[in-house]
Amino acid sequence: MRKIFILTSLLITVLFSSCIPNKELVYFQGEPIQKNTVYKMANEPYKLQVNDILDIQIKADDEKLVEVFNSRVTSGTQTANFYNPETLYFTSYSVDRNGNIDMPYIGNINVLGYTEKEVQEKVKNELMKFFKDASGIFVKVKLAGIRFTVLGEVGSPGSKVLYQNQVSIVEALANSGDITMTGNRKNVNIIRKGTDKTEKFTIDLTDAAALDSELYYIQPNDIVYVAPLKEKSWGTGTTGVQTFTTIISVISFISTTILLIKNI
């Protein structure tokens, strides 16, 4: 009987220790790092990759002069629809496997590893071949949304697109149903593919210092992976109530087993 008591006590201790503490669930604990100057997040401009989608607009005082260079229909009642974010995929330029985009009349332009501003200059230089004076021509180049993938312990894993200039890791997770109770907020991995290599980073979202991290803003095509807490592998419950229910079930099972053995 004494052995059974010791075994039960040990089991209860293990089960309670597997309950997830509050500090594992709270974001940005502590105080942010105080700085004398404002730190500019994502200081390095993004360099374009294969499969990126670019929205390129070419405008002039006389729109008819540049109409043939635009892939988007910009007249009539269709204008509003073509500026809808979801339709940008069909009206913009996709970077092919060779790092090129194919523009009407201009042809292929290599954009792999270039920034938006650099591509803007390249397009304008190409247009100068068709016009004696390109000073009245305006070129705007932007990514057609920031695409990313969130996997692991989140409410809604999968690939997402947000149509804004920058996306924080908090926004990425919020659009994926947030991290679940069994997700490890201290071990959020970011897998980032560059022009010549793929890198893996880790950010601790329970620490307020994450707000000042260079990883706080994700880049297009990033993969965010939230690892599980060890409590999930125990399978004993994520809250006190769930753990207590598990304990009662185990004790009931042990008691029933003992009674059956005694009655044999």
**CATH at residue 179:** 3.10.560.10
User: Residues 82, 164: one domain?
Assistant: no
User: Residues 37, 118: one domain?
Assistant: no
**Strand pairing partners for 109?**
101
What is the domain range of residue 182?
22-44+145-232
- Whose CA is closest to 145, among 160, 162, 159? 162
Q: What local confidence, expressed as pLDDT, does residue 89 receive?
A: 72
Please answer whether residues 203 and 47 qualify as being in contact, where contact means their C-beta atoms are separated by less than 8 angstroms: no
Domain edge (last residue) among 110, 143, 176: 143
**CATH at residue 112:** 3.30.1950.10
Please answer whether residues 228 and 182 qualify as being in contact, where contact means their C-beta atoms are separated by less than 8 angstroms: yes
Compute the distance between CA of residue 106 and CA of residue 111 in angstroms, rounded to an integer: 14
pLDDT, one tens digit for every residue, the chain (264 residues): 555 555 555 555 555 555 555 555 565 566 555 544 444 444 678 899 998 999 999 998 888 888 888 876 544 444 445 556 567 777 889 999 999 999 999 999 999 999 999 999 999 999 989 887 777 889 999 998 899 999 999 999 999 999 888 899 999 999 999 999 889 999 999 999 877 788 999 999 999 888 888 899 999 999 999 999 886 555 555 555 555 566 666 666 666 766 667 666
User: Residues 132, 70: one domain?
Assistant: yes
Q: What local confidence, expressed as pLDDT, does residue 88 receive?
A: 73
User: Cβ of 224: how many Cβ atoms within 10 Å?
Assistant: 24
User: Residues 159, 212: one domain?
Assistant: yes
Domain edge (last residue) among 127, 143, 159: 143
Compute the distance between CA of residue 210 and CA of residue 169 in angstroms, rounded to an integer: 10
- Whose CA is closest to 66, among 104, 25, 99? 104
State the DSSP string of 166-229.
Answer: -EEHHHHHHTTT-B-TTEEEEEEEEEEE-SS-EEEEEE-TTBGGGGGSTTSEE-TTEEEEEEEP
Please answer whether residues 134 and 146 qualify as being in contact, where contact means their C-beta atoms are separated by less than 8 angstroms: no
User: Residues 171, 101: one domain?
Assistant: no
Domain edge (last residue) among 97, 127, 143: 143
Residues 6 or more apart in contact with residue 139 via CB below 8 angstroms: 56, 57, 58, 59, 120, 123, 124, 127
Compute the distance between CA of residue 77 and CA of residue 87 in angstroms, rounded to an integer: 15
User: Residues 72, 97: one domain?
Assistant: yes
User: Residues 133, 182: one domain?
Assistant: no
Please answer whether residues 233 and 213 qualify as being in contact, where contact means their C-beta atoms are separated by less than 8 angstroms: no
User: Residues 109, 185: one domain?
Assistant: no
User: Residues 157, 188: one domain?
Assistant: yes
User: Residues 175, 207: one domain?
Assistant: yes
**CA dist 193 → 47, 106, 198, 245 (Å):** 11, 29, 4, 45
Q: What local confidence, expressed as pLDDT, does residue 64 receive?
A: 84
- Looking at the structure of the chain, the number of domains it has is 3
User: Residues 158, 28: one domain?
Assistant: yes
User: Residues 29, 100: one domain?
Assistant: no
